[in-house]
Amino acid sequence: MIVVMKSPCSDQDIKHVLTCLENHSLTGHLSHGVERTVIGVLGAVGPSGAPGSIGGINPTLGETLEGLSGVESVLRVSKPYKLASREFHPKDTVVEVPDACVSKGVVSIGGSEVVMMAGPCAVESEKQLMRAAEAVRKEGAVILRGGAFKPSTSPYGFRGLGEEGLKLLAKVRSELGIAVITEVMTPTDVPMVCEYADILQIGTRNMQNYMLLDEVGRIRKPVVLKRGMSATIEEWLLAAEYILSQGNRNVILCERGIRTFEKLTRNMMDISAIPLIKQLSHLPIISDPSQGTGRRDLVGKMTLASVAAGTDGLLIEVHPNPDEALKDGAQSLAIEQFRELMPQVDAVAQAIGRTLVTK
């Protein structure tokens, strides 16, 4: 950490900063430049230092220093996350999901294969779910998505079938052998969702629901952590750090678009987040072009772009009859559209030296 002093600043101000550092068992190293004085902070600050600093006060030291008289700004040198960083864990993390529908009996996310997860936005009925599941499985999807608990911007919107929806997912899973991913929205629901699903999903609105992150950190099932709709990459990795620091290492990040000023798309997919996460972190990253665009007519191209940029998997909404979907019909692919897309995904994956796992 580096403290940049205002120009000019008083000796009193400098002394004040040094004392504050000492109070935190740190040493300040003064450097008087041509224009201004800079204080380098020596000693471990924050999560990646000595054990004593974990769970302690230090992460807010920067804020405290910023508030001191004569301080212009505080520059952080270390990354605020540790367990999620590639520096801490240089090798790619590969998350394994037991999956009876593939010959190996397990799907690996974060390795050389690209994984397709598809299904309806929301579980609406057994018939709808089964039709969707059979169709996406037939085209090569190896994980079934489907929401039983649905966040709805309006209190008057469809909020999902709840446990009944989970049971339908489990039923389809046992019949088709396909693994299942579904969203969990509140800490008390975690045990129940764990009972029925293979992967738990934390939605964009809950990326900073810390008690929920703590809770899914205590289980060992894989967790897909969607990026908050206005979260920086650093905040996203810090949210992953919450889960990791509770002991659950099976974290998969999911880019699903951020909020910008553009009005023609519901969200704007940050495709550059895919290679950036690969540099900063060892965790797998998947893409959700359905939420990421909000428009069915853009899902195909954004799927291909994600694969070309290095995504480890895709989460795509497919509905047997999008026009009658209870939720997000505008962004769901019809089955024929999904069928056309899959060979294109495979072709782009192969062009960059990966393969789409389908069986």
3-state SS of 81-141?
CCCCECCCCCCCCCEEEECCCCCCCEEEECCCEEEEEEECCECCCHHHHHHHHHHHHHHCC
Please report which residue ranges of 140-209 form alpha helices under DSSP H: 163-176, 190-196
Closer of 167 and 344 to a second copy (Cβ): 344
Contact 124, 88 (CB under 8 A): no
10, 230, 336, 355: residue in contact with a second copy (rule CB under 8 A): 230
Asked if 247 and 217 touch (Cβ cutoff 8 Å), the reply is: yes
Q: Is 98 in the site for a second copy (CB under 8 A)?
A: no
Nearest distance from C-beta of residue 245 to a second copy, angstroms = 5
Out of 25, 27, 350, 355, the only residue in the binding site for a second copy (CB under 8 A) is 350
Alpha-carbon distance of 274 to 123, in angstroms, equals 29
Rounded distance between C-alpha atoms, residue 260 and residue 244, angstroms: 29
Q: Residue 224 or residue 258: which is nearer to a second copy going by CB? A: 258
Amino acid at 210: Y
CA atoms 133, 307, 234, 252: torsion sign: positive
Mark the segment that binds a second copy (CB under 8 A) among 163-171, 175-183, 218-226, 321-329: 321-329
The answer to whether 65 and 2 are in contact (CB under 8 A) is no
Kindly state whether residue 248 participates in binding a second copy, applying the rule CB under 8 A: no
Among 10, 25, 27, 260, binds a second copy (CB under 8 A): 260
Q: Residue 336 interacts with a second copy (CB under 8 A)?
A: no
> Does 355 interact with a second copy (rule: CB under 8 A)?
no
Quick check: helix, strand or coil at residue 106? strand
Q: Does 118 help bind a second copy (rule: CB under 8 A)?
A: no
User: Binding to a second copy (CB under 8 A): which residues in 288-317?
Assistant: 292-293, 296-298, 301-302, 304-310
Q: Would you state the structure tokens that stand for residue 348, as one six-digit string?
A: 């782009």
Contact flag: residue 30 with a second copy (CB under 8 A): no
Determine if 18 is a binding residue for a second copy (CB under 8 A). no
Place of tokens 């989970």: 166
Contacting range for a second copy; rule: CB under 8 A; set: 102-110, 133-141, 183-191, 194-202: 183-191
Q: What residue type is assigned to position 26 of the chain?
A: L
Q: Which of residues 274-293 bind a second copy (CB under 8 A)?
A: 274-276, 279, 292-293
Of 13, 330, 337, 339, the one binding a second copy (CB under 8 A) is: 330
Q: Looking at 13, 18, 20, 111, which residue binds a second copy (CB under 8 A)? A: 20
Under the binding rule (CB under 8 A), the answer on residue 35 touching a second copy is yes
Structure tokens belonging to residue 10: 């008083």
